[in-house]
Amino acid sequence: MSHFLDHAATMPMRQVAVDAWVEHAQALNPGSQYRSGRAARSVLDDARETIAGLLGAEPVEVIFTASGTEADNLAVTGLYEASPLTRIITTPIEHPAVLETVRATGAQVDHLPVDATGHVCDLSLLDTPAAVATCMWANNETGAIQPVAEFAARATAAGTPTHVDAVQVVGRLPVDFHALGATTLAASAHKFGGPRGAGLLLARRSPAPVPVLHGGGQERGIRPGTLDVASAAAIAAALTEAVAEIDSEAARLAALRDRLREGILTRIDDVVVHTAEPALPGHLHLSFPGAEGDSLIMLLDQQGVEASTGSACSSGVNRASDVLLAAGVSDHDARGAVRFTLGRETTDDTVDAVLGVLPDVVARARAAGMAG
């Protein structure tokens, strides 16, 4: 039996989402005006309304996309192209879905600084207007929760539209889009137990991203294409259950995570912990200097523990994570990183299983050393 500790990467679909998805798998085009189209439309409208209510948005602000990546692309590129300005403000710790999108605009890019705990620590660059400012709500590697409300308020005061990548947060922490004050927000269904290949973009009426994709005008023209009704229903079902569990799961996961961290620190020498508060309750990112992250992952896998190095772009490439380097971690230490992310089905048994195998795994990976 394997123990899945990679919930920041994805999580098993919740049964309520599977049920909703199967129930509506044969829905036809919700854009059609005849009876079957109207029936599909009604399911879609209900899902949109549920999601809007759970995230503090209006139904019209909910745009269904094919992924969190797509939502980030549509928002960042669309807001950039809607502006006459050519400057973008971002952070050095964004997921590639934002990082590469910003790079592809060709804009002049200014980075908000990050401190040694992995948190954005100075927002003063936001006082000068830009085409768009974009900041993730919580980092996918370290779990560090960023000061997004202050970020949105300060950028808005300078007249800059804001995008928040909330892919790691939606379903794990309470989200109120209007209270947050951002212009757009991205989420991804498979991170909270919905289907993979389904995302959400919340977008205010104004300023709205200009269309990046062109087509039949669905989703306010921001995301044209025939809608996937079954996925919309599954997202609504998954999010309803996830939001209802936020408080109890946050407390339960934080306790398990703390026990895992303390157990590791008492059993293994020379450990660098990267996850610092405020952080997502289920995240534990740490390094075992002298070992190679990829070796650790492989050896853990052999022992039935599924974890990741945490770095979306360096998985399998044996390279230090840019997120850790931005927080001032040395290249040597960053290369020994492993991320354990806990979730719904994580129990004390999971923690015991990891603590049982990790000391030997680290010793063997350290003996194998670094790959040059």
User: Contact positions toward ligand PLP, by CB under 6 A?
Assistant: 67-69, 72, 95, 97, 136, 140, 165, 167-168, 188, 199, 312
- What CA–CA distance (Å, rounded) separates 325 from 245? 34
Residue 245 in tokens:
């569990």
Active-site residue, selected from the candidate residues 39, 66, 271, 313 = 313
Residues 6+ away with beta carbon under 8 Å from 141 = 93, 274, 285, 310, 311, 321, 323, 324, 337, 339
* CB of residue 67 to ligand PLP, shortest distance in Å: 3
* CB of residue 70 to ligand PLP, shortest distance in Å: 7
351, 260 in Cβ contact below 8 A? yes
* CB of residue 69 to ligand PLP, shortest distance in Å: 3
71, 191 in Cβ contact below 8 A? no
47, amino acid identity: A
Q: Within 10 A of 9 (CB to CB), how many other CB atoms are there? A: 18
Task: Pick between residue 196 and residue 252 the one whose CB is nearest to ligand PLP.
Answer: 196
Task: Pick between residue 57 and residue 98 the one whose CB is nearest to ligand PLP.
Answer: 98
* CB of residue 232 to ligand PLP, shortest distance in Å: 15
Task: Pick between residue 30 and residue 143 the one whose CB is nearest to ligand PLP.
Answer: 143
Task: Pick between residue 192 and residue 288 the one whose CB is nearest to ligand PLP.
Answer: 192
Whether 313 is catalytic is: yes
* CB of residue 5 to ligand PLP, shortest distance in Å: 15
**Segment holding 88, helix H or strand E:** strand 87-90
Q: Is 116 exposed, middle or buried (0-12, 13-18, 19+ CB in 10 A)?
A: exposed
Task: Pick between residue 308 and residue 365 the one whose CB is nearest to ligand PLP.
Answer: 308
* Among candidate residues 103, 100, 69, 82, the one with its CA nearest the CA of residue 161: 82
Residue nearest to ligand PLP (CB): 68
Q: Which residues are catalytically annotated?
A: 313
